[in-house]
């Protein structure tokens, strides 16, 4: 995310990273002017919290000294509620859930703002999050658990699809290297087509499917009893439930 902000014109000297164990990538950004773990850092205008939810209580307490009541606090932690954020850190809180395609500027982030977030702060949060892809805002924080299950965890489901498509290709007799390439390129190309097309995904699926053909034979399995629809409903329900558990 920071790389995207810098590419968008953010002055490196205005950016501070607090990270006890900085990666080589963060060290490289520090070499470009980003301040890394400064000892004289006081209260800040905007703070983005990007730690594992299980580490938040400890990390949040250490960050509290940098947060004024007017500080915009943007959280990208799964399951961590705005109430928890305000209790531990304070500030004007925006809770957001991005996903890993943000790394190539093709992410989707859903965000929700606390009542004390101003219009200007919401615009700042939107600009920060939009540097990594699309942004959608909701007014009901209760939706964030399902958001996490669908788009936050969603890339893993797509990667699993590519993995299993390749494995099935090998089972059908293809060399492993060829099956892997076919699966990766098919998933990637289909995703790009879905991105560029204005047609519903169901229509794109139907356009590939000839009555009585090979695709129809495969879809009869995938869309049949205990097929992909039921599996996905169960998977999203499990991820949603786990997100709610993390909030406890």
Q: What is the CATH number of the domain that holds 236?
A: 1.10.3730.10
Which range of residues forms the domain containing residue 101?
Answer: 2-144
Domains identified in the chain, total number: 2
Question: What SS3 class is residue 9?
Answer: coil
Q: Are residues 140 and 159 in the same domain?
A: no
Among 88, 109, 144, identify where a domain stops: 144
Whether 149 maps to a domain, the answer reads no
Q: Which helix (H) or strand (E) holds 93?
A: strand 92-97
Stated pTM of the model = 0.87
Nearest to 11 by CA among 27, 32, 37: 32
What does each C-alpha distance from 207 to 3, 162, 182, 222, 223 come to in angstroms?
39, 21, 20, 17, 16
Per DSSP, the three-state class of 109 is strand
Provide CB contacts within 8 A for 134, sequence distance 6+.
107, 108, 109
In a domain, 78, yes or no: yes
Residues 82, 114 contacting (CB under 8 angstroms)? yes
Could you say which DSSP state residue 139 is in? S
Given a contact cutoff of 8 angstroms between Cβ atoms, the answer to whether 97 and 78 are in contact is yes
Q: Which residue has the tokens 């900085």?
A: 22
**Are residue 177 and residue 130 in the same domain, yes or no?**
no
pLDDT in tens, the chain (248 residues): 888 888 888 899 999 999 988 999 899 989 989 999 998 899 999 999 988 888 888 888 889 999 999 999 999 988 889 999 999 989 999 999 999 898 888 999 999 999 999 999 999 999 999 988 999 999 999 999 999 999 999 999 999 999 999 999 999 999 999 999 999 999 999 999 999 999 999 999 999 999 999 999 999 999 999 999 999 999 999 999 998 887 76
Is 84 contained in some domain? yes
**What CATH number did the domain enclosing 10 receive?**
3.40.50.720
């Amino acid at each position: 995310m920071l790389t995207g902000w810098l590419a968008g014109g953010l002055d490196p000297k205005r950016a501070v990273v607090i990270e006890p164990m900085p990666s080589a990538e963060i060290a490289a950004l520090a070499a470009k002017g980003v301040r890394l773990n400064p000892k004289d850092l006081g209260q800040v205008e905007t703070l983005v919290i990007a730690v594992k939810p299980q580490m938040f209580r400890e990390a949040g307490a250490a960050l509290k000294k940098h947060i004024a009541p007017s500080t915009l606090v943007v959280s990208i932690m799964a399951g961590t509620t705005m109430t928890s954020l305000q209790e531990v850190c304070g500030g004007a809180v925006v809770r957001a859930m991005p996903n890993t395609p943000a790394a190539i500027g093709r992410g989707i982030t859903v965000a929700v703002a606390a009542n004390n977030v101003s219009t200007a702060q919401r615009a700042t949060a939107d600009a920060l999050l939009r540097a990594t892809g699309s942004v959608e805002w909701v007014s009901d924080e209760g939706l964030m658990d399902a958001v996490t299950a669908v788009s936050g965890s969603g890339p893993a489901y797509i990667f699993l699809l590519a993995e299993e498509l390749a494995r099935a290709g090998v089972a059908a007799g293809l060399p492993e290297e060829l099956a892997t390439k076919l699966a990766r390129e098919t998933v990637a190309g289909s995703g790009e087509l879905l991105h560029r097309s204005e047609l519903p995904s169901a229509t794109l699926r139907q356009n590939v499917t000839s009555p009585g053909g090979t695709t129809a034979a495969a879809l009869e399995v995938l869309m049949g009893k205990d097929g992909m629809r039921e599996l996905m409903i169960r998977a999203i329900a499990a991820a949603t439930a786990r997100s709610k558990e993390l909030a406890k």
